[in-house]
Amino acid sequence: MKLPVLLLSMLLLGCCGLWDIHAACEQSPNMQLRDKCFSTLALHDDNPELCKEIQNLTARDYCIMNIAIAEMNESICASIASDLKCEQVVMGVRQHNPLVCRWIKDDETAELCRLGSMRSACENAANQNLRDRCFSVLALNDDDTELCKEVQNLTARDYCIMRIAIADADESKCADLAEDLNCRQVVMGVQQNNSLVCGMIKDNETAELCRLRVG
């Protein structure tokens, strides 16, 4: 999961011993930012105890629910005060059922639920080829190159990253590729609406995405 830039900076500083992250959350300029800071920190550390620092009771419950979904552990739901159908949602995620996510009123938690359900389905794919394919589609759908790292086949992983670079017209994302697939040249061509660069791509699906992106 991507962390907000502010918290990511705090975490990096914390790793160097330069910043007490807990204290930083405490010193947030207002209660809403304080609650958000503790919620993000709790999810990052998989620590529902940190959710208790959140003052808004609804936000506190969703903080706990987020961790229960991420861990696929419905026992964590026991700490929730309100009826959010947490246990049913977590069990649905484990069974790869995204329909349970419709019960969730909080947008961020609902998105985490959908991602968890799809990720669970990918991890339980029948074979490695299907697993790689599933994570590749999920990565492009969520515009998240980190998910490409779940793809075991190295060539497929590179094309997963390249597709996102093409879709976003962002050549900086090509830096994560292990092979030279002419990624930067292709993306720069896409930025200039030059469909000829798509002919440089050996993977048919990636080449088709390139052509669609150029239009």
In this prediction, residue 61 has a pLDDT band, given cuts at 50, 70 and 90, of: very high
The pLDDT of residue 91 is 94
pTM for the whole structure: 0.60
pLDDT digits (tens, 9 = 90+) for 175-196: 999 998 999 999 999 999 999 9
94: Cβ–Cβ under 8 A, 6 or more apart, which residues? 72, 120
Q: Measured between alpha carbons, how far is 144 from 146 in angstroms, rounded to an integer?
A: 5
Q: Within a 10 A sphere around the Cβ of 39, how many other Cβ atoms?
A: 25
SS3 67: helix
Mean of per-residue pLDDT scores for the chain: 87
| Mean pLDDT value of segment 119-145 | 88
DSSP conformation class of 8: H
pLDDT at 9 over 60: no
Instruction: State the residue for tokens 């190159």.
Output: 145
115: Cβ–Cβ under 8 A, 6 or more apart, which residues? 138, 142
pLDDT at 11 over 70: no
In this prediction, residue 10 has a pLDDT band, given cuts at 50, 70 and 90, of: very low
